[in-house]
Amino acid sequence: MVKDWTLVHDEICRLYYQDNRPLAEVRRLVKGKFGVIASERSYRTQLVKWGYTKYNTQASLKLDRAPRSV
């Protein structure tokens, strides 16, 4: 598992978000280039932490806009 995601942050975000590659392909490319071995779940968790999302559904957009009670 990757301890320091900052080393691969830019590459992952470029491949996944800008180049619109599937996560499985991003994992394979990052593993080949940097030797990073991490699960798909770990990648998804980091992408959410960094604010990168794909395929937003109408339901998820409605949840984001819904007022929140305090």
Question: What digits encode the pLDDT tens for the residues 33-64?
Answer: 999 999 999 999 999 999 888 876 665 555 55
For position 69, what pLDDT does the model report? 59
Per-residue pLDDT of 4-22, as tens digits, reads 899 999 999 999 989 999 9
Q: Are 29 and 8 in contact (CB under 8 A)?
A: no
pLDDT at 53: 81
At 30, the pLDDT band (50, 70, 90 cuts) reads very high
11: which 2 tokens? 């590459």
Instruction: Give whole-number Cα distances, 38 to 13, 20, 24, 35, 58, in Å.
Output: 15, 20, 11, 10, 30
